Amino acid sequence: MSYRVLITEPIVESVIQKLEEHFKVEVGERGQFYDEASLLEVIGDFDALLPMLSSPVTDKVLNAGNRLKVVANHAVGYNNVDIEAAQQAGIKVANTPGVLSESSADCAMALLLATARKIVEAQDFLYEGKFDGWDPLSFLGMELNGKTMGIFGMGRIGKAVARRAKGFGISILYHNRNRVEKELEQELDAEYIPKLETLAERADILSLNCPLTDETHHAIDAEMLKRMPSHALLINTARGPVVDEEALAEALHNGEIGGAGLDVFEEEPEVHPRLLTAPNCVLTPHIASATHETRKAIGMLAANAIIGVLDGTPDEQIPNLVHV
């Protein structure tokens, strides 16, 4: 009997082909499996699931998957998968660490540059035919050289952001569950800040690069936003719910902070309506890992975990299994 794999929506074709060399593969339609009920309907037929971060792989789904052996999330973040329920059901979970750090860090810098230098606003102005010659007083933004970036979450992506920021003449502070190795702090000239509150107070730019957990949910709330300097920029390429979006919209409209560059939102694909009208805000539709190279690498890493588990490879030899 050939194993059956469900990929919840179309992904890079060569990844699908790779899985098809080994298994019987079904690919859902875009949007088809964004809710629990749709997954519950079919999950009993599959040995492996390759979901997007937009598919809720809940305990109900996992328990209904009576032949399910592995869930390989097409993302590094796996807050959409109930890890404890998977463990209890003996289902292995994989994610895609490493391969998207550089593209995600590029996106964080793109949002920072766009926000600090009002690139989108300036482009709109030009497209609207308003450019009437060089203006000494228009579109004045924040100079990055000499500023301080606070990085919340110094994992792979946080480090990649720090390396880039350093190249722009930005000093690095960071807050993380654990302090990173001395060598890395030295390489990045990074200062460890034990309290998130202090990071918020000292940073001209606050970059969120942490996973979404119970601890980080709404870590950036109204109180934390008030601690940020009024010129400070918030960059979020992590997960929307790390920020209380209502409070952020309020802070932007009231001028409590200087601007925000956001790639992720609390209720994706919804975007808080007051963010859409907020000043100095650059918003992108969760594209941090969207490069040809990275999306292929994400798919291959997820596919390899499925191949490994279904072929009976020992866990230690599957580098991207999530262990809790």
Catalytic residues: 239, 268, 286
Q: Does 289 bind ligand GLV (CB under 6 A)?
A: yes
Q: Does 80 bind ligand GLV (CB under 6 A)?
A: no
Q: Does 157 bind ligand GLV (CB under 6 A)?
A: no
Question: What's the closest the beta carbon of residue 277 comes to ligand GLV, in angstroms?
Answer: 25
Give the phi and the psi of residue 107 in degrees, each rounded to 5: -65, -40
Question: What's the closest the beta carbon of residue 78 comes to ligand GLV, in angstroms?
Answer: 8
Q: Which is nearer to ligand GLV, 232 or 238 (CB)?
A: 238
Stretch that binds ligand GLV, among 29-37, 73-81, 217-225, 313-321 (CB under 6 A): 73-81
**The two structure tokens encoding residue 144:** 């990055």
Which residue, among 242, 67, 33, 263, has the nearest Cα to 153 in the 3D structure? 242
Stretch that binds ligand GLV, among 17-25, 70-78, 163-171, 216-224 (CB under 6 A): 70-78
Q: Does 77 bind ligand GLV (CB under 6 A)?
A: yes
Out of 11, 48, 72, 75, point to the residue binding ligand GLV (CB under 6 A). Answer: 75
Stretch that binds ligand GLV, among 17-25, 72-80, 193-201, 265-273 (CB under 6 A): 72-80
Out of 7, 43, 72, 100, point to the residue binding ligand GLV (CB under 6 A). Answer: 100
Out of 7, 15, 76, 205, point to the residue binding ligand GLV (CB under 6 A). Answer: 76
**What DSSP assignment string belongs to 233-287?**
EEEE-S-GGGB-HHHHHHHHHTTSSSEEEES--TTTT---HHHHT-TTEEE-SS-
Q: Does 107 bind ligand GLV (CB under 6 A)?
A: no
Question: What's the closest the beta carbon of residue 279 comes to ligand GLV, in angstroms?
Answer: 26
Strand ranges, E, within the chain: 4-7, 24-27, 48-50, 70-72, 92-94, 148-152, 171-175, 190-192, 205-208, 233-236, 259-262, 281-283
Question: What's the closest the beta carbon of residue 303 comes to ligand GLV, in angstroms?
Answer: 15
Q: Which is nearer to ligand GLV, 77 or 308 (CB)?
A: 77
Asked whether 228 and 206 are in contact (CB, 8 A), the reply is yes
146 forms beta bridges with none
Q: Does 11 bind ligand GLV (CB under 6 A)?
A: no
Reported for 285-293, long-range contacts at CB under 8 A and 24+ positions apart, including other chains, are 287/107, 287/263, 288/100, 288/103, 288/104, 288/107, 288/108, 288/237, 288/263, 288/264, 289/75, 289/76, 289/100, 289/103, 289/104, 289/107, 290/103, 290/107, 291/103, 291/106, 293/103
For the window 231-270, what string marks contact with ligand GLV as x by the rule CB under 6 A?
----------------------------------------
Q: Does 176 bind ligand GLV (CB under 6 A)?
A: no
Q: Does 81 bind ligand GLV (CB under 6 A)?
A: no
SS3 141: coil
Question: What's the closest the beta carbon of residue 104 comes to ligand GLV, in angstroms?
Answer: 7
> String of b and e for 121-134 (b: at least 16 CB within 10 Å)?
beeeeeeeeeeeee
Contacting residues toward ligand GLV, per CB under 6 A? 53, 75-77, 100, 289
